[in-house]
Structure 1
Amino acid sequence: MKFRKMLLLSFISILIFGNLGLHSVIVHAADSLEFREHHDLINILKDGDGENRVFGFTTKNKLTASNTTLRLYVNAIEVDSKDYVVDYANYSITLNKAPDRGAEIHIKYGIIPGFEWGEGANIGFALPEGDGSTRNFPVSLNYTLNSTKQISLSIDQTKVATSRFTFNATTNTVTLSEKQQVPHSGAKVYLYIPKASISSKPSPSEEVIESPVSSGAVDPPPDPASGSPSVTSPSPTPNKPSEPLVQIPTEERYPGSITIRSGNTITIKLSESASVSGYTSYLMVKNASGQVVRQIKIEPGKTSSFSLRKLGLPTGGYYFYLKSANQSVELSASIPQFVTINHEPKNIQVFIEGEKQVYKQPPTNFKGNILVPLRGIFESLGANVKWNSSTQTVTAIREGRTIVLTIGSKIAYINGVAVTLSAKPQIINGVTMVPLRFVSEAFGGEVDWHGEAGSVTIFLNKPSIPTSAESEEPASGATKTTESGSSSTSPILNNISKGINTPSDIIFVIDVTGSMGEVIDYIKETVKSFVDSVPAGSNFAVISYRDVNIYRNGDYNLKFFDFTQDKDKLKGNLNTLVASGGGDIKESGLEAINLATNKLSEFSSDNAKRLIFITDAPVHDSPPLSSFSIKGIAHKLKADEIVFDAIAPSDGDAYRQIIQLVKSTPGGALYDIKDASVLSLNK
């Protein structure tokens, strides 16, 4: 099943990473098959065999009945705590009833300070929670580090800029600078250290006992049938696969590449080795704050090229990378690369640490030299500036390095050593302008000129852009990305609108599991033109859904956004949708459709009724995971005279189910979800 594959592939990527030139003796938290889900850790156990009721588990974290509560799941459904007993001392769980053969079993427990876990190419460490005043946080680190580069910090799942904290490897302490707001009381503070920076494993005294309970060590609960204790099954060996099923390297060895060519053409190559059943590959685009603004499906084994303009992104700096993932956990990803987009290349843009700079006097190209406002560039680089009006001299100091420039002179000084500039500092429109490359490189910056985009990028410290699932929350308003004056086409929604000739009450029912990111972006981008093209007096609502039978902390499974005629409000409701989660292949689409039919019936209106269903997966259509059936929902659509349109797969199980709903009433149609691509926009 998909949940099992998710865990195995996550584990495999860790195994592979561990072979990329690292010390083979390293033992990480991820070796125990644990991964993070919001503020919980998931630990996969051995599959059920129809007989065994005792399951051991392995973890690097010290668990007790007082510091955490384990929750048990069988086939992704939480088991009542009355139906099993946890032995924290021996790291085992005993169920009243043996799970069926092949049943997928996992446990979940909350993260507390001191816990660690594997997350992509990093190990995560939970620091003490915020208290509203503390800036210093101790790290329970039992590893020896060979480097402190690329270490990152997050507070309540928001990344902290590297300039706003320091990590002392000697005292194992994280200190927040005055620039960083003090974490509020209860804030979750997580530190991430690259596995490549770890050169030794924890000391033996810190190793957790990995031996599961021995026979007879646990008193099992009474057998429900006899009322007497049953015989304890032999202790299981912790579930560790003997060999990986797939091998998809990550970071430098990820089997894909992104190339930006002249004319702002992007070329993506993705090897067939990234093709894994149940997993999807994407081109990910994040803004300078590390928030997702585009997620585009990429087919392995193919090379594709297109203009950056097709992405509909406004002028700015973005991080591009490729990743392969299932619905909820990242499998592997390439290293993010910074790309600048400038729709008016004659207006030079300057980006420092990925952030676009805005200066009172725009940058100027003077005989091949980019000049920028003196005070603006120095302050952007974190330097202290002093101006001597009598000598027309500027002195800038940063981290022990002093630069002295004189207006009208090509001679400058770096810590007292004279150097010759390529252009003189000069005054333009009353603003002192200095050569950008010299100033930046003098302070140790890496400077690149991108002629096609008319932009300059400067990095003093290359930022660490996380590629984990938890980091991929969409930016606020991120879907409003088309430039003013550009045109968007929405052939699917336009085709639907052609069949709407009278005012209608319309509900969008949208699958918001992890694989739906690009489709949701497509709907967000095109819904306004759809609203404009349907008859006046129409009302619009939204229902989003995942799987009502799978509990996921922080992910709502069924949500209704009320009717409105305001297209901006509708767009705002759509902008809140986040593609994440999803446990098994099928989702609770029938529950969502049933809710939509009820809302359409309850809404006081004489308008025609219409439902637009959007998904890439089949639906649960039988007990115990659904109390609805395709036939029953089709009958309800027909009885309520609700026209049913679908943007869904054009083949497979999903098609065979959904086409029956489309045909339940006249006027509906099914459109191939593969055509709901943001690359079809702004042609």
Structure 2
Amino acid sequence: MNSRKMISLFIVFVLLLGALDFHAGIASADDRLDFREGDYLVNILRDGDGKERVFKFTPGNRITATNTKLRLFINSREIESKEYTVDYENYTITMRHAPDLGAEISIKYLIGPTFEWGEGESGTDKIGNALSEGDGSTRVFKVTSRYTINSSKNVSLYIDGSKVRSSEFTFNHENNTVTILEKRRAPGAKSKIYFYFPKTSITGVQPSRGESTPNPPSGAVAAPSPNTAVKPEFQVPGGASFPGTIALNPDHTLTVNTTAATSRPTYFTYLMVKNAKGKLVRQIRVTSNSPSTYSLSKLGLPSGGYYFYLKTINQSGGLAASIPQFVPINNEPQTIQVFIGGQMQSYTQAPVNWNGSTLVPLRAIFESLGAAVEWESTTQTVTATREGKTIVLTIGSSIAYVNGVPVTLSAPAQLINGSTMVPVRFVSEALGGVVEWNEASKSVIVFQNKPVIPTTAESEKTAIEEGLQEPSESSASSPILQKISKGITDSSDIVFVIDVTGSMGEVIDYVKETVSNFVDSVPSGSNFAIVAYRDINFVDIYNPDFEIFDFTNNKDLLKAQLDSLVASGGEDVEESGLEAIDKAVQKLSGSKSSKRIIFITDAPVHDKGTSPGMAGFSLEEINAKLQANQVTLDAIAPQSGLANEQIIKLVQSNHGTLYDINDANLMQLR
């Protein structure tokens, strides 16, 4: 073990001892802290054993592909990202090659706001906490910590690596805010701000996922409980235990069925479809606890191999997925398809059926399975070798030899149109593959290794692949945004106000896929902005209440901004839609063009008039602001229920149209 790792482990050991010293009762799995190197946090994994390629890591912060950048190091050397994949849902790294025996493995991830770590600062055991970056004017910063802090003493602050004098800032432990005083300039744009508090000031751990706050040490005074919602436990298991099935039927359909475990009021279940490259190409909301049958041909997918799985999510960010299963789709069933490792094969001589056996070109099948091929023309014999296994076939003979042992073939090797053809099942199984025949799609499926198909939210960025047609206005089912564009006759400033809580994934993907044509269809000179929102009533360190983007007339930039939105978070059914509309009206207030809001949500809004204390505005107040600023409001929302009752008032009073959110479905575009 080299000196770097010894030092790292020593730091972690000291931090753990310090944590146990001040209060052993507070220690828990959630208290694990990484150590800092510059603007990165470091997490050490177990050493390599020369065989294992999958490594588990346990970071001290909740990290995702969108809130940080993870880097992998082996023996202090950074590994290229193409050499490994990261499953952020299960916190595992899968490497293309197993690290050598004794190899030292670690990860680094860039520090983001709310991340915490242990550090001996100024000779005292302290917890470091990353505050939001500076913007040149903000002076008050919120400290979002996993711990309850009962003192404002012995804290410290660093801005861009320089320590701030204690006379230049204050910390209020009652509301967890750091204030930069007027005698010092406000932190500049993108400034890194790190705040430290001593472990001795900690009296407990904030409740999370149903856990209670530990009792403080004897004699300590507990800090006031913050107004933080306790997230309900997500109760749907994943993997092989997922409470749902996907059944392939002989008539080229599939039936989806889930149990009551997925039908809670804030749970949403989807049928997810990824192509052979692992890119999401379909996401279809399914009715929980009720079987649904889909025609594979009506999915509009090109011929090829796909992975289907079920996924249930809730408003709090909990999710569970079934094990992806391979599904071949053949739009030309008169031809035979061959899939190896999920990839559809292409042969100069098409596969043929010979008395019930599928024959494929010899060299192509052997080489695609990783075997070296030699041809002996005098004896018309083929020899293939791979990993200590030798296969010998002779043209016209029904006997082959595997490592010298004779095997009777279902069909002899033979010449067809000048190509040497061999039984695909024998060749694949002789080289260690598992072979399956799919009658509905007339496909041979061969897997040598179990595929790893990630089911995390980060892996499910919708992509229109080659062969999938971009939706157009002339399609049979005209996209909603195209219908809205027909009512826009003047250059306009348009704000998309989008609910981005956990249940909105499919609708957000729909908007992503259709927004480019919308931008092309509205009058020139129009500009577009986005206000994305969740719920201001819940402190969620992983999901911001609002994500706001400036106006742009660049459709590629607008598409990129939409692509950055991830449906996650949310607690109760109602969300902070009125606050989001208010922010959109503010953005439009100085506009000289026509003003328009496109409001997109599947949930009711918190209304000050009916739920005091949960909202800053009432429907009447927002309606008055829209009218005063002459803003037209269209909505993509439910056609029934409380959400409809609320939103229809805003739409009808502001010259807009309400569109059914059930039509904002990727299936409608095919």
Are 1:90 and 2:33 matched, yes or no? no
Q: Go from structure 1 to structure 2 and tell me whether the alpha carbon gap of 1:237 and 1:680 turns closer, same or farther (over 3 Å shift).
A: closer
Q: Go from structure 1 to structure 2 and tell me whether the alpha carbon gap of 1:553 and 1:676 turns closer, same or farther (over 3 Å shift).
A: same
Give the deviation of 1:545 after TM superposition. 1.5
- 1:678 corresponds to which residue? 666
Preserved CA contact (<8 Å) 1:162 1:463: no
Partner SS, residue 301 of structure 1 = coil
Are 1:496 and 2:467 matched, yes or no? no
Preserved CA contact (<8 Å) 2:347 2:364: yes
Q: Go from structure 1 to structure 2 and tell me whether the alpha carbon gap of 1:362 and 1:473 turns closer, same or farther (over 3 Å shift).
A: same
Give the deviation of 1:440 after TM superposition. 0.7
Aligned-partner Cα distance in 1 for 2:625–2:26: 45
Q: Go from structure 1 to structure 2 and tell me whether the alpha carbon gap of 1:371 and 1:515 turns closer, same or farther (over 3 Å shift).
A: same
Counterpart pick for 1:297 among 253, 268, 285 = 285
Counterpart pick for 1:453 among 428, 441, 444 = 441
Kindly indicate whether structure 1 or structure 2 has the higher relative contact order, using CA contacts under 8 Å at least 6 residues apart: 1
Give the deviation of 1:415 after TM superposition. 0.8
Aligned-partner Cα distance in 2 for 1:508–1:479: 28
- 1:410 corresponds to which residue? 398
- 2:62 corresponds to which residue? none
Counterpart pick for 1:370 among 358, 365, 374 = 358
Gaps of 5+ in 2: 1-8, 35-40, 47-53, 60-69, 111-147, 154-171, 175-200, 213-231
- 1:441 corresponds to which residue? 429
Give the deviation of 1:610 after TM superposition. 2.3
Aligned-partner Cα distance in 1 for 2:596–2:11: 52
- 1:509 corresponds to which residue? 497
Q: Go from structure 1 to structure 2 and tell me whether the alpha carbon gap of 1:89 and 1:350 turns closer, same or farther (over 3 Å shift).
A: farther
Are 1:165 and 2:152 matched, yes or no? no
Aligned-partner Cα distance in 1 for 2:459–2:42: 23
Aligned-partner Cα distance in 2 for 1:155–1:360: 37
Are 1:612 and 2:588 matched, yes or no? no
Aligned-partner Cα distance in 2 for 1:479–1:541: 28
Deviations 1:428-480 (A, max 9, x none): 5655443222211111211122232232211112224344x455431544698
Give the deviation of 1:363 after TM superposition. 3.6
Are 1:113 and 2:43 matched, yes or no? yes
Aligned-partner Cα distance in 1 for 2:597–2:173: 49
- 1:662 corresponds to which residue? 651
Counterpart pick for 1:353 among 328, 341, 356 = 341
Partner SS, residue 57 of structure 2 = strand
- 2:308 corresponds to which residue? 320
Aligned-partner Cα distance in 2 for 1:135–1:380: 33
Preserved CA contact (<8 Å) 1:545 1:589: no
Aligned-partner Cα distance in 1 for 2:240–2:87: 29
Partner SS, residue 313 of structure 1 = coil
Aligned-partner Cα distance in 1 for 2:581–2:97: 48
Preserved CA contact (<8 Å) 2:282 2:462: no
Give the deviation of 1:304 after TM superposition. 1.3
Are 1:642 and 2:628 matched, yes or no? no
Q: Go from structure 1 to structure 2 and tell me whether the alpha carbon gap of 1:501 and 1:225 turns closer, same or farther (over 3 Å shift).
A: closer
Aligned-partner Cα distance in 1 for 2:92–2:417: 37
Are 1:130 and 2:59 matched, yes or no? no
Partner SS, residue 130 of structure 1 = strand
Give the deviation of 1:604 after TM superposition. 5.9
Aligned-partner Cα distance in 1 for 2:241–2:576: 37
Counterpart pick for 1:564 among 553, 563, 577 = 553
- 1:264 corresponds to which residue? 252
**Residues 205-224 of structure 1: pairs in structure 2 closer than 5 A:** 221=151
Q: Go from structure 1 to structure 2 and tell me whether the alpha carbon gap of 1:394 and 1:290 turns closer, same or farther (over 3 Å shift).
A: same
- 1:50 corresponds to which residue? none
> 1:262 is aligned with what amino acid?
P
- 1:539 corresponds to which residue? 526
Are 1:633 and 2:622 matched, yes or no? yes
Aligned-partner Cα distance in 1 for 2:285–2:14: 45
Deviations 1:110-165 (A, max 9, x none): 6853579xxxxx9943599623776899xxxxxxxxxxxxxx97448599997923
Preserved CA contact (<8 Å) 2:281 2:465: yes
Give the deviation of 1:339 after TM superposition. 0.9
Aligned-partner Cα distance in 1 for 2:338–2:296: 19
> 1:90 is aligned with what amino acid?
H
Partner SS, residue 428 of structure 2 = helix
**Identical aligned residues as a percent:** 46
Are 1:401 and 2:394 matched, yes or no? no
Aligned-partner Cα distance in 2 for 1:432–1:133: 48
Q: Go from structure 1 to structure 2 and tell me whether the alpha carbon gap of 1:276 and 1:112 turns closer, same or farther (over 3 Å shift).
A: farther
Aligned-partner Cα distance in 1 for 2:354–2:97: 38
- 2:273 corresponds to which residue? 285
Give the deviation of 1:414 after TM superposition. 0.9
- 2:132 corresponds to which residue? none
> 1:537 is aligned with what amino acid?
S
Are 1:379 and 2:367 matched, yes or no? yes
Give the deviation of 1:645 after TM superposition. 0.9
> 2:667 is aligned with what amino acid?
L
Preserved CA contact (<8 Å) 2:599 2:635: yes
Q: Go from structure 1 to structure 2 and tell me whether the alpha carbon gap of 1:359 and 1:620 turns closer, same or farther (over 3 Å shift).
A: farther
Aligned-partner Cα distance in 1 for 2:297–2:514: 16
Preserved CA contact (<8 Å) 2:374 2:382: yes
Counterpart pick for 2:331 among 343, 359, 362 = 343
Give the deviation of 1:420 after TM superposition. 2.9
Aligned-partner Cα distance in 1 for 2:310–2:264: 15
Give the deviation of 1:337 after TM superposition. 1.3
Give the deviation of 1:496 after TM superposition. 3.4
Instruction: Using structure 2 for the length normalisation, give the TM-score.
Output: 0.64
Preserved CA contact (<8 Å) 2:359 2:424: yes
Q: Go from structure 1 to structure 2 and tell me whether the alpha carbon gap of 1:536 and 1:246 turns closer, same or farther (over 3 Å shift).
A: closer
Preserved CA contact (<8 Å) 1:507 1:543: yes
Give the deviation of 1:186 after TM superposition. 4.0
Q: Go from structure 1 to structure 2 and tell me whether the alpha carbon gap of 1:274 and 1:473 turns closer, same or farther (over 3 Å shift).
A: closer
Deviations 1:167-200 (A, max 9, x none): 89xx68799xxxxxxx9x8479xxxxxxxxxxxx
> 2:443 is aligned with what amino acid?
S
- 1:40 corresponds to which residue? none
Q: Go from structure 1 to structure 2 and tell me whether the alpha carbon gap of 1:508 and 1:237 turns closer, same or farther (over 3 Å shift).
A: closer
Aligned-partner Cα distance in 2 for 1:225–1:425: 80
Preserved CA contact (<8 Å) 2:531 2:584: no
Aligned-partner Cα distance in 1 for 2:151–2:206: 18
> 1:315 is aligned with what amino acid?
S
Matched residues, number: 526
Preserved CA contact (<8 Å) 2:530 2:550: yes
Give the deviation of 1:658 after TM superposition. 2.9
Preserved CA contact (<8 Å) 2:495 2:531: no
Aligned-partner Cα distance in 2 for 1:483–1:426: 44
Deviations 1:343-373 (A, max 9, x none): 2333433222223334455444455433333
Aligned-partner Cα distance in 2 for 1:479–1:678: 17
- 1:143 corresponds to which residue? none
Partner SS, residue 259 of structure 1 = strand
Aligned-partner Cα distance in 2 for 1:635–1:569: 32
Q: Go from structure 1 to structure 2 and tell me whether the alpha carbon gap of 1:342 and 1:562 turns closer, same or farther (over 3 Å shift).
A: farther
Give the deviation of 1:166 after TM superposition. 3.8
Deviations 1:373-396 (A, max 9, x none): 333322322223333444443322
Q: Go from structure 1 to structure 2 and tell me whether the alpha carbon gap of 1:543 and 1:362 turns closer, same or farther (over 3 Å shift).
A: farther
Counterpart pick for 2:460 among 473, 478, 499 = 473
RMSD: 5.0
